[in-house]
Structure 1
């Protein structure tokens, strides 16, 4: 069999799960195979079990009792039901419509705190965020409030030097909340628009760092609390999201490493289980590679 014939055969059998239907009204037994196949696909794409069950229940309601005359009709019904369920989940959790406009209209300085576990790309994300704000004509200062991790302040200092952005640092082992306080005070005296506060990576096993984060937020009184998650972490990212929600009740999420072929299920799980919007996504290594999350973009990626 040559390559063309093989491709044709694969194409013809691609939706063989739909080919058993001809001019009939669908019953639950008719769609069990479709449901189970989709369950596997959704779970493999890091969609949580709770969200998967919701989407498949919507699909059952959309299909049972419908009459189909061709396998293509059933395929279209399935796709349209999936799209509607997913879009409904995402659009119920509206993100900030225009953060730049919100910042420009707010009292100065507008304070944003970033947090997340080590390794998610938090420091690079803060640099990208600073670049984005500068591109919109806003003045930025960064608070290096990770006084715990070795070289954290040096990494931020390097980014700030490249971006020509002021940085407020403290001593390693010092009080990170004091560093944040000093950065806000400096922003007020210098008429700077936005303060970006870095924090030490932490998880629930480190109670000291957890209390430290709470203290930073009490003192800084941020306008926006952003959780940075690695999109490749799958269900671990959802567990991190739940943990941080219990601690600080954050406002939104930035997903990093989306360019590395992330499956995307975490977006749905965040929106459905935690009612948290993804505000921005990281799509590369350059400072310009941070973009607002778009429902339409996500739908295209999912169904491409």
Structure 2
């Protein structure tokens, strides 16, 4: 995971160190200047772009490192690579911190009862599996969960979710295909309130963010369910497309938070960093495998360790 990105950052660290070393020459010590890094910025940005990092984010990283190194006094006997890596890590961390979600889902569930979460996303992002993983997260905390099939459109959608719920021992609320999704969700929420459920997880039909009719459908689901959180599920492999999805869903429906899937399959890691930097929404969870327990709460330090840590 992130192996290619680790190699790219290693090459960038070496390139910056080489430039500083050349500038230092035979002098025993001197302050690093902003231009020592900036003069190589085109080359450094290109290396990051080749690792699937969006151009604007790549520029931000390089500029961030240059600013952090500016004024740092270095000697010919110091470990330049270590100094540069420290500043590179700081620049990446600043970007990753944008995705931190400060809420507590378990605490929210106790306060709201039931806590209502609506899940949105285009086809193929792993939304169905993600809902199952989130259900597992709540049941591990001893909470009573109801999963609702708000997708009455796509053939097989309810069956897939039903299989997951059966394996997890989680109740599943469904209706006939072609039923009004808003009515189904409304009935499910009322049922959950009467039966004392702690959490209601509401699926919606996978939709392209350009499909206005389906966007209207999800807006209706949101109106009748009054969710505590509208969660957008994004594929971490898709980079800029995921950023565009987030912007469109937020524009037409509103997005409170996101879940990034397939982080384990993200060989470069660059697209994931671009998404975190660009969507402007907190990340609640990241998917790191196919199992029901392969869901981690978003933690910038873990991602930094995957990039800069050992094998």
| TM-score interval (norm. to shorter) | 0.7 to 0.9
- Asked whether 1:69 is paired with 2:75, we answer yes
Pick one of 201, 209, 212 that aligns with 2:214.
Answer: 209
1:77 match: secondary structure: helix
* Aligned counterpart for 1:228 among listed residues 233, 249, 252: 233
CA contact (8 A) 2:237 2:272 kept: no
Provide the secondary structure at the position in 1 that maps to 2:203.
Answer: strand
Note if 1:91 corresponds to 2:97: yes
Q: Would you say the 8 A contact 1:25–1:66 is kept in 2?
A: yes
How big is the alpha-carbon RMSD for the aligned residues of Structure 1 and Structure 2? 2.4
Aligned counterpart in structure 2 of residue 288 of structure 1, from 293, 300, 307: 293
How far apart are residue 221 of structure 1 and its match?
Answer: 0.6
Cα distance change on mapping 1:93 and 1:161 into 2, 3 Å: closer
What does residue range 61-140 of structure 1 map to in structure 2 within 5 Å? 61-70=67-76, 73-104=79-110, 106-140=111-145
Residue 178 of structure 1: aligned partner:
183
Q: Distance in 1 between the 2:92 and 2:39 partners? A: 21
1:59, distance to aligned residue in structure 2 (A): 2.0
Q: Determine the C-alpha separation between the residues in 1 that align with 2:37 and 2:189.
A: 58
Structure-2 residue corresponding to 1:145? 150
- 1:50 deviation in Å? 2.5
**Structure 1 stretch 76-85 or stretch 118-127: which is displaced more?**
76-85
User: RCO higher in 1 or 2 (8 Å CA, sep ≥ 6)?
Assistant: 2
**Shift in CA distance, 228/296, structure 1 to aligned 2, threshold 3 Å:** same
Task: Determine the C-alpha separation between the residues in 1 that align with 2:161 and 2:183.
Answer: 17
The number of equivalent residue pairs is: 291
Q: Distance in 1 between matches of 2:188 and 2:78?
A: 60
Provide the rounded CA distance (Å) in 1 between the counterparts of 2:299 and 2:148: 29
The answer to whether the Cα contact below 8 Å between 2:108 and 2:115 also exists between their aligned partners in 1 is: no
CA deviation vs aligned residue, 1:165-216 (integer Å, no higher than 9, x gap):
1111122122111111111111111101111000111123321111111111
| C-alpha contact 1:143 1:183 (8 A) present in aligned 2 | yes
Determine the structure 1 residue equivalent to 2:17: 18
Alignment gaps of 5+ in structure 1: 1-10
1:27 positional shift: 4.4
CA distance in 1, matches of 2:81, 2:60: 19
Q: Which runs of 5+ in 2 are unaligned?
A: 1-9
User: Residue 45 of structure 1 aligns with which residue?
Assistant: 51
The answer as to whether partners of 1:237 and 1:266 remain within 8 angstroms in 2 is no
Match of 2:7 in 1: none
Are the counterparts in 2 of residues 229 and 237 from structure 1 also a CA contact under 8 Å?
A: yes
* Cα distance in 2 between the residues matched to 1:92 and 1:127: 26
**CA deviation string 1:88-145 (max 9, x = no partner):** 23335530342212212x1211100101110011001111111111111000111101
* d(CA) in 2 for partners of 1:39, 1:71: 28
Post-superposition offset of 1:37: 3.7
Match of 2:6 in 1: none
How many Å separate the matches in 1 of 2:183 and 2:77? 65
- Change in Cα spacing, 1:102 to 1:58, as seen in structure 2 (3 Å) is same
Residue 256 of structure 1: aligned partner: 261
1:16–1:51 distance in 2 versus 1, CA, 3 Å? closer
**Is the contact made by 2:125 and 2:233 (CA closer than 8 Å) also made in structure 1?**
yes
